[in-house]
Amino acid sequence: MAKIYVLRLGHRPKRDKRVTTHVGLVARTFGADRFVLVGSDSKVVSGLNSVSNRWGDGKFEATSTKDAKKYVEQWKKSGGIIVHLTMYGLNLSGFDMNKVRGKDLLVVVGAEKVEPWYYENADYNIAVANQPHSEVSALAMFLDRYYQGRELDKGYTSKLSIKPMENGKYVTLIPNELECIDILKNEKVDDKLLLHSKAVYELAVEIGKRANANLNLITAGALLHDIGRSKANGLDHGHIGAEILRKKRVNEKVARIVERHIGAGLTKEDVVKNGLYIPKKNYVPITYVPITLEEKIVAEANNLIYGSKRVRIEKTIERYKKEGLNNSAEHILKLHKELSKKCKIDLDDLCTD
Protein backbone atom coordinates (compact mmCIF):
# COMPACT_ATOMS: atom_id res chain seq x y z
CA MET A 1 0.00 0.00 0.00
CA ALA A 2 1.34 3.44 -0.94
CA LYS A 3 2.56 5.60 1.92
CA ILE A 4 2.39 9.36 2.35
CA TYR A 5 5.00 11.28 4.33
CA VAL A 6 5.04 15.03 4.99
CA LEU A 7 8.46 16.73 5.11
CA ARG A 8 8.52 20.03 7.00
CA LEU A 9 11.25 22.45 5.89
CA GLY A 10 12.62 25.59 7.54
CA HIS A 11 11.22 25.08 11.04
CA ARG A 12 12.43 27.74 13.50
CA PRO A 13 11.94 26.39 17.05
CA LYS A 14 11.46 29.78 18.67
CA ARG A 15 8.98 31.10 16.09
CA ASP A 16 7.28 28.17 14.35
CA LYS A 17 6.51 25.67 17.10
CA ARG A 18 2.75 26.21 17.00
CA VAL A 19 2.29 26.35 13.22
CA THR A 20 4.63 23.37 12.65
CA THR A 21 2.62 21.38 15.20
CA HIS A 22 -0.52 22.26 13.26
CA VAL A 23 1.10 21.07 10.02
CA GLY A 24 1.78 17.75 11.79
CA LEU A 25 -1.76 17.53 13.16
CA VAL A 26 -3.21 18.16 9.70
CA ALA A 27 -0.87 15.52 8.23
CA ARG A 28 -2.19 12.97 10.73
CA THR A 29 -5.89 13.83 10.52
CA PHE A 30 -5.91 14.07 6.73
CA GLY A 31 -4.34 10.66 6.15
CA ALA A 32 -0.53 10.93 6.07
CA ASP A 33 1.47 8.08 7.58
CA ARG A 34 4.41 10.08 8.91
CA PHE A 35 5.50 13.64 9.65
CA VAL A 36 9.21 14.33 9.20
CA LEU A 37 10.60 17.51 10.75
CA VAL A 38 13.83 18.88 9.30
CA GLY A 39 16.04 19.94 12.20
CA SER A 40 15.69 19.29 15.91
CA ASP A 41 12.68 20.09 18.07
CA SER A 42 11.92 17.23 20.43
CA LYS A 43 8.88 18.98 21.93
CA VAL A 44 7.10 19.17 18.58
CA VAL A 45 7.94 15.57 17.67
CA SER A 46 7.05 14.10 21.08
CA GLY A 47 3.88 16.19 21.23
CA LEU A 48 2.63 14.85 17.89
CA ASN A 49 3.43 11.27 18.88
CA SER A 50 1.56 11.78 22.15
CA VAL A 51 -1.52 12.92 20.21
CA SER A 52 -1.22 9.90 17.92
CA ASN A 53 -1.11 7.51 20.88
CA ARG A 54 -3.94 9.16 22.86
CA TRP A 55 -6.31 10.05 20.03
CA GLY A 56 -5.44 7.42 17.42
CA ASP A 57 -4.04 3.94 17.03
CA GLY A 58 -0.43 5.13 17.23
CA LYS A 59 0.32 4.17 13.62
CA PHE A 60 0.98 7.78 12.60
CA GLU A 61 4.52 8.71 13.59
CA ALA A 62 6.45 11.97 13.88
CA THR A 63 10.22 11.82 13.34
CA SER A 64 13.02 14.20 12.38
CA THR A 65 15.95 14.35 9.96
CA LYS A 66 19.03 16.55 9.86
CA ASP A 67 19.55 16.43 6.08
CA ALA A 68 16.44 17.32 4.08
CA LYS A 69 18.10 17.14 0.67
CA LYS A 70 19.49 13.68 1.34
CA TYR A 71 16.03 12.59 2.51
CA VAL A 72 14.47 13.85 -0.75
CA GLU A 73 17.18 12.20 -2.87
CA GLN A 74 16.73 8.85 -1.14
CA TRP A 75 12.98 9.07 -1.60
CA LYS A 76 13.40 9.64 -5.35
CA LYS A 77 15.93 6.80 -5.64
CA SER A 78 13.43 4.41 -4.06
CA GLY A 79 10.89 5.30 -6.76
CA GLY A 80 8.76 7.67 -4.71
CA ILE A 81 7.09 10.88 -5.91
CA ILE A 82 7.94 14.35 -4.58
CA VAL A 83 5.22 17.02 -4.37
CA HIS A 84 6.23 20.49 -3.21
CA LEU A 85 3.43 22.77 -2.02
CA THR A 86 4.10 26.37 -3.08
CA MET A 87 2.05 29.35 -4.23
CA TYR A 88 4.08 29.39 -7.47
CA GLY A 89 3.20 25.89 -8.71
CA LEU A 90 0.47 24.34 -10.81
CA ASN A 91 -2.98 25.18 -9.49
CA LEU A 92 -4.43 22.36 -7.43
CA SER A 93 -7.86 22.77 -8.98
CA GLY A 94 -6.52 21.65 -12.37
CA PHE A 95 -4.04 19.03 -11.21
CA ASP A 96 -4.72 15.36 -12.07
CA MET A 97 -4.31 13.47 -8.77
CA ASN A 98 -4.09 10.17 -10.64
CA LYS A 99 -0.51 11.15 -11.45
CA VAL A 100 0.46 10.66 -7.80
CA ARG A 101 -2.08 8.18 -6.43
CA GLY A 102 -0.91 4.65 -5.78
CA LYS A 103 2.74 5.65 -5.37
CA ASP A 104 4.81 6.48 -2.30
CA LEU A 105 4.42 10.23 -1.90
CA LEU A 106 6.58 12.78 -0.08
CA VAL A 107 4.81 16.12 0.39
CA VAL A 108 7.27 18.96 1.04
CA VAL A 109 5.91 21.85 3.10
CA GLY A 110 8.11 24.92 3.64
CA ALA A 111 8.05 27.25 6.65
CA GLU A 112 10.07 30.11 5.16
CA LYS A 113 11.66 30.92 1.80
CA VAL A 114 12.41 27.58 0.11
CA GLU A 115 15.62 27.03 -1.85
CA PRO A 116 15.31 26.65 -5.66
CA TRP A 117 16.75 23.13 -5.30
CA TYR A 118 13.43 21.83 -3.95
CA TYR A 119 11.49 23.32 -6.87
CA GLU A 120 13.90 21.69 -9.30
CA ASN A 121 13.88 18.27 -7.65
CA ALA A 122 10.15 18.03 -7.03
CA ASP A 123 8.16 15.96 -9.49
CA TYR A 124 5.32 18.44 -9.09
CA ASN A 125 5.14 21.94 -7.60
CA ILE A 126 1.51 22.50 -6.64
CA ALA A 127 -0.28 25.65 -5.47
CA VAL A 128 -3.66 26.40 -3.92
CA ALA A 129 -5.15 29.31 -5.89
CA ASN A 130 -1.64 30.74 -6.51
CA GLN A 131 -2.22 33.09 -3.61
CA PRO A 132 -0.36 33.63 -0.31
CA HIS A 133 -1.97 31.76 2.58
CA SER A 134 -1.16 29.24 5.30
CA GLU A 135 0.89 26.09 4.61
CA VAL A 136 -1.50 24.37 7.02
CA SER A 137 -4.49 24.98 4.75
CA ALA A 138 -2.46 24.08 1.64
CA LEU A 139 -1.59 20.67 3.08
CA ALA A 140 -5.16 20.06 4.22
CA MET A 141 -6.59 20.87 0.80
CA PHE A 142 -4.01 18.79 -1.06
CA LEU A 143 -4.57 15.69 1.10
CA ASP A 144 -8.34 16.11 0.97
CA ARG A 145 -8.23 16.21 -2.84
CA TYR A 146 -5.88 13.22 -2.84
CA TYR A 147 -8.23 11.09 -0.71
CA GLN A 148 -11.41 12.65 -2.16
CA GLY A 149 -12.71 13.27 1.36
CA ARG A 150 -12.51 9.64 2.46
CA GLU A 151 -9.78 10.37 5.03
CA LEU A 152 -12.36 12.10 7.25
CA ASP A 153 -14.45 8.94 7.57
CA LYS A 154 -11.75 6.42 8.49
CA GLY A 155 -12.49 6.58 12.22
CA TYR A 156 -10.13 5.86 15.11
CA THR A 157 -10.09 3.36 17.92
CA SER A 158 -8.15 5.42 20.41
CA LYS A 159 -7.68 5.77 24.13
CA LEU A 160 -9.66 9.01 23.95
CA SER A 161 -12.48 9.74 21.54
CA ILE A 162 -15.14 12.38 21.14
CA LYS A 163 -18.82 11.61 21.02
CA PRO A 164 -20.29 14.14 18.56
CA MET A 165 -22.88 16.43 20.14
CA GLU A 166 -24.82 19.50 19.03
CA ASN A 167 -24.00 21.21 22.33
CA GLY A 168 -21.35 20.59 24.96
CA LYS A 169 -18.35 18.28 25.14
CA TYR A 170 -18.36 14.50 25.63
CA VAL A 171 -15.06 12.58 25.69
CA THR A 172 -14.96 8.81 26.17
CA LEU A 173 -12.08 6.61 27.30
CA ILE A 174 -10.61 3.21 26.46
CA PRO A 175 -8.92 2.42 29.79
CA ASN A 176 -5.58 0.61 29.91
CA GLU A 177 -4.83 -2.40 32.10
CA LEU A 178 -4.10 -0.45 35.29
CA GLU A 179 -7.11 1.83 34.79
CA CYS A 180 -9.35 -1.21 34.31
CA ILE A 181 -8.12 -2.75 37.57
CA ASP A 182 -8.86 0.53 39.36
CA ILE A 183 -12.37 0.58 37.89
CA LEU A 184 -12.99 -2.99 39.06
CA LYS A 185 -11.71 -2.24 42.56
CA ASN A 186 -13.85 0.89 42.76
CA GLU A 187 -16.86 -1.29 41.96
CA LYS A 188 -15.73 -3.60 44.79
CA VAL A 189 -15.38 -6.80 42.75
CA ASP A 190 -14.00 -9.67 44.84
CA ASP A 191 -10.57 -11.29 44.40
CA LYS A 192 -12.04 -14.40 42.74
CA LEU A 193 -13.70 -12.32 40.04
CA LEU A 194 -10.55 -10.26 39.61
CA LEU A 195 -8.50 -13.41 38.98
CA HIS A 196 -11.10 -14.64 36.48
CA SER A 197 -11.05 -11.31 34.64
CA LYS A 198 -7.24 -11.33 34.41
CA ALA A 199 -7.27 -14.89 33.06
CA VAL A 200 -9.83 -13.95 30.38
CA TYR A 201 -7.75 -10.88 29.53
CA GLU A 202 -4.52 -12.86 29.09
CA LEU A 203 -6.16 -15.42 26.80
CA ALA A 204 -8.11 -12.80 24.85
CA VAL A 205 -4.90 -10.90 24.11
CA GLU A 206 -3.26 -14.11 22.83
CA ILE A 207 -6.21 -14.70 20.51
CA GLY A 208 -6.33 -11.02 19.53
CA LYS A 209 -2.70 -11.05 18.41
CA ARG A 210 -3.33 -14.07 16.21
CA ALA A 211 -6.47 -12.48 14.74
CA ASN A 212 -4.88 -9.05 14.24
CA ALA A 213 -7.58 -7.45 16.38
CA ASN A 214 -7.49 -4.18 18.31
CA LEU A 215 -5.65 -5.04 21.52
CA ASN A 216 -6.65 -1.83 23.31
CA LEU A 217 -10.33 -2.74 22.97
CA ILE A 218 -9.66 -6.36 23.91
CA THR A 219 -7.69 -5.37 27.01
CA ALA A 220 -10.47 -3.14 28.33
CA GLY A 221 -13.33 -5.39 27.25
CA ALA A 222 -11.80 -8.55 28.68
CA LEU A 223 -10.78 -7.07 32.03
CA LEU A 224 -14.16 -5.37 32.49
CA HIS A 225 -16.41 -8.04 30.95
CA ASP A 226 -17.82 -9.19 34.31
CA ILE A 227 -17.97 -5.84 36.09
CA GLY A 228 -21.76 -6.22 36.16
CA ARG A 229 -21.36 -9.11 38.60
CA SER A 230 -20.60 -6.51 41.23
CA LYS A 231 -24.36 -5.85 41.12
CA ALA A 232 -25.95 -9.09 39.84
CA ASN A 233 -24.98 -12.63 38.83
CA GLY A 234 -27.79 -13.43 36.41
CA LEU A 235 -27.82 -13.24 32.60
CA ASP A 236 -28.44 -9.52 32.93
CA HIS A 237 -24.94 -8.88 34.33
CA GLY A 238 -23.66 -8.13 30.82
CA HIS A 239 -26.10 -5.28 30.28
CA ILE A 240 -25.68 -4.04 33.87
CA GLY A 241 -21.91 -3.95 33.37
CA ALA A 242 -22.25 -2.04 30.11
CA GLU A 243 -24.43 0.56 31.82
CA ILE A 244 -21.87 0.96 34.62
CA LEU A 245 -19.21 1.71 32.02
CA ARG A 246 -21.41 4.10 30.04
CA LYS A 247 -21.96 6.15 33.19
CA LYS A 248 -18.19 6.29 33.60
CA ARG A 249 -17.87 7.49 29.99
CA VAL A 250 -15.95 4.42 28.89
CA ASN A 251 -15.90 4.04 25.10
CA GLU A 252 -19.10 2.53 23.68
CA LYS A 253 -17.12 -0.16 21.83
CA VAL A 254 -15.88 -1.44 25.20
CA ALA A 255 -19.38 -1.28 26.69
CA ARG A 256 -20.73 -3.40 23.85
CA ILE A 257 -18.01 -6.02 24.36
CA VAL A 258 -19.18 -6.27 27.97
CA GLU A 259 -22.85 -6.33 26.95
CA ARG A 260 -22.37 -9.13 24.41
CA HIS A 261 -19.85 -11.47 26.10
CA ILE A 262 -22.18 -14.07 27.61
CA GLY A 263 -21.77 -17.48 25.93
CA ALA A 264 -21.73 -16.66 22.23
CA GLY A 265 -24.21 -13.87 22.85
CA LEU A 266 -27.84 -13.81 23.88
CA THR A 267 -30.36 -14.13 21.05
CA LYS A 268 -33.70 -12.33 21.04
CA GLU A 269 -35.27 -15.62 22.14
CA ASP A 270 -32.89 -15.82 25.11
CA VAL A 271 -33.67 -12.24 26.05
CA VAL A 272 -37.43 -12.66 25.87
CA LYS A 273 -37.36 -16.05 27.64
CA ASN A 274 -35.38 -14.64 30.56
CA GLY A 275 -37.24 -11.32 30.71
CA LEU A 276 -34.10 -9.26 30.07
CA TYR A 277 -33.99 -5.61 29.14
CA ILE A 278 -33.63 -4.97 25.40
CA PRO A 279 -31.61 -1.80 24.76
CA LYS A 280 -32.79 0.27 21.82
CA LYS A 281 -31.30 2.91 19.56
CA ASN A 282 -33.78 5.03 17.65
CA TYR A 283 -36.44 2.56 18.88
CA VAL A 284 -34.67 -0.37 17.13
CA PRO A 285 -33.66 -3.28 19.43
CA ILE A 286 -29.89 -3.71 19.83
CA THR A 287 -28.68 -7.31 19.83
CA TYR A 288 -26.74 -8.94 22.65
CA VAL A 289 -24.93 -11.18 20.12
CA PRO A 290 -21.24 -10.29 19.48
CA ILE A 291 -20.74 -8.64 16.11
CA THR A 292 -17.26 -7.14 15.95
CA LEU A 293 -14.07 -9.21 16.01
CA GLU A 294 -13.15 -7.87 19.43
CA GLU A 295 -16.60 -8.71 20.85
CA LYS A 296 -16.29 -12.28 19.55
CA ILE A 297 -12.76 -12.73 20.92
CA VAL A 298 -13.68 -11.68 24.47
CA ALA A 299 -16.75 -13.95 24.41
CA GLU A 300 -14.58 -16.84 23.16
CA ALA A 301 -11.88 -16.23 25.78
CA ASN A 302 -14.54 -16.18 28.50
CA ASN A 303 -15.84 -19.52 27.22
CA LEU A 304 -12.36 -21.02 27.52
CA ILE A 305 -11.88 -19.91 31.13
CA TYR A 306 -13.54 -21.61 34.10
CA GLY A 307 -12.76 -19.75 37.29
CA SER A 308 -9.22 -18.64 36.53
CA LYS A 309 -8.14 -21.77 34.62
CA ARG A 310 -8.18 -22.46 30.89
CA VAL A 311 -10.45 -25.26 29.71
CA ARG A 312 -11.19 -26.78 26.33
CA ILE A 313 -14.37 -25.69 24.61
CA GLU A 314 -16.04 -29.11 25.11
CA LYS A 315 -16.06 -28.53 28.87
CA THR A 316 -17.99 -25.28 28.46
CA ILE A 317 -20.40 -26.88 25.98
CA GLU A 318 -21.05 -29.77 28.41
CA ARG A 319 -21.82 -27.28 31.18
CA TYR A 320 -24.34 -25.42 29.01
CA LYS A 321 -26.02 -28.67 27.94
CA LYS A 322 -26.39 -29.81 31.55
CA GLU A 323 -28.29 -26.60 32.20
CA GLY A 324 -30.56 -27.32 29.23
CA LEU A 325 -29.04 -24.57 27.07
CA ASN A 326 -28.52 -26.70 23.96
CA ASN A 327 -29.13 -23.82 21.57
CA SER A 328 -26.53 -21.67 23.32
CA ALA A 329 -24.07 -24.58 23.28
CA GLU A 330 -24.39 -24.80 19.50
CA HIS A 331 -23.67 -21.08 19.12
CA ILE A 332 -20.62 -21.39 21.40
CA LEU A 333 -19.19 -24.19 19.24
CA LYS A 334 -19.88 -22.21 16.07
CA LEU A 335 -18.05 -19.18 17.46
CA HIS A 336 -15.12 -21.36 18.52
CA LYS A 337 -14.79 -22.82 15.01
CA GLU A 338 -15.08 -19.37 13.39
CA LEU A 339 -12.29 -17.83 15.46
CA SER A 340 -10.10 -20.95 15.26
CA LYS A 341 -10.31 -20.71 11.47
CA LYS A 342 -9.41 -17.02 11.53
CA CYS A 343 -6.46 -17.63 13.86
CA LYS A 344 -5.37 -20.69 11.83
CA ILE A 345 -5.16 -22.77 14.99
CA ASP A 346 -7.62 -24.72 17.10
CA LEU A 347 -7.99 -22.34 20.04
CA ASP A 348 -8.27 -25.38 22.30
CA ASP A 349 -4.51 -25.69 21.77
CA LEU A 350 -4.09 -22.54 23.89
CA CYS A 351 -5.84 -24.26 26.78
CA THR A 352 -5.15 -27.12 29.16
CA ASP A 353 -7.62 -29.02 31.31
Can you say which residues are annotated as belonging to the binding site? 85, 110-114, 128-135
What does the alpha-carbon distance between residue 258 and residue 209 come to, in Å, rounded to a whole number? 20
Who's near 220: CB < 8 A, 6+ residues apart?
A: 174, 175, 176, 180, 250, 251, 254, 257
Question: Which residues are documented as binding site for S-adenosyl-L-methionine?
Answer: 85, 110-114, 128-135
**How far is Cα 83 from Cα 292, in angstroms, rounded to an integer?**
39
What 3-state DSSP class applies to 276? Answer: coil
| Per-position b or e across 148-167, b if 16+ CB within 10 A of its CB | eeeeeeeeeebbebeeeeee
Radius of gyration of the chain (CA): 25
Tell me how far the alpha carbon of residue 67 is from its chain's centroid. Answer: 33
Listed in sequence order, the residues at least 6 apart from 116 whose beta carbon sits closer than 8 Å to its beta carbon are none
State how far the Cα of 111 lies from the Cα of 85, in Å rounded to an integer.
11
Alpha carbon 252 to chain centroid, angstroms: 13
Element (H, E) at 211: helix 191-211
Alpha-carbon span 191 to 195, nearest angstrom: 6
Helices (H), 98-190: 116-121, 135-147, 177-186
- SS3 at position 35: strand
Say what angle helices 326-343 and 313-322 make with each other, to 10 degrees.
Answer: 170
Residue-wise burial string across 93-118, b where 16 or more C-beta atoms lie within 10 A, e elsewhere: eebeeeebeeebbbbbbbbeebeeeb
